Amino acid sequence: MSELERRLARGGDGPAPDADRLSAALRQRAAAEGLLDVAYASMDSPLGELLVAVTPRGLVRVAYVQEATEAVLEDLANRVSPRVLRAPERTDEVRDELEEYFAGARRGFDTPIDWSLVRGFAVGVLQATARVPFGQVTTYRDVAGAAGSPRAARAAGNALGSNPIPIVVPCHRVLHAGGGLGGYTGGLERKRFLLRLEGAGPIG
């Protein structure tokens, strides 16, 4: 819960619908006045609860439930903007796309990406990763090469390990050159699940 939402929660003992209307009105006013820089919401998925955050430029964060919500929001406030507010309607597009993906009805994402949380070499690595097609896999060495440093496979692995937008930027499609799974920020079971969902072949 953000500080703004805490203030709303302490604001009185009125019925919940009034609080909901007040919260919605507050979000609308914040957006209209240019005060809503990062909007976020949660959603259920086959991989557990996901936190999704967007800016006016696009999707900036997807976080697995294993990550503490407060820590994710604090990181967004520190690195993107302190004007962070729960605003589910602002995340509808990407949440709908994620639901379609998990249902097997979507093979790619149309939502724009905001790369604000990515710096340096990692930008090239993650942008190369975003171009790996549904149902296919590549290697750390290959995405390093696509980012301009073919010998930097380890650095590419580090960049993928800190990918702030998993699933949509499909770091699960990147494997070791020998076919090993490598690592994954959400854990290897989630990586296996995503690869199987996409029909990427036998996964160890």
> Is 141 among the catalytic positions?
no
Strands 38-43 and 174-175: unpaired
Rg (CA), the chain: 18
User: How many CB atoms are located within 10 Å of the residue 151 CB?
Assistant: 9
Q: Tell me, what amino acid is at 28?
A: Q
Beta-carbon count within 10 A of 114 CB = 20
Annotated active-site residue in 62, 171, 174, 195: 171
Q: How far apart are CA 135 and CA 112, in angstroms?
A: 21
Give the distance from CA 144 to its chain's centroid: 21
Output the CA–CA distances (angstroms, integers) from residue 146 to 14, 126, 129, 157, 175, in the order listed.
Answer: 56, 10, 9, 13, 15
**Phi and psi for 41 in degrees, rounded to 5?**
-160, 165
Residues that are catalytic: 171
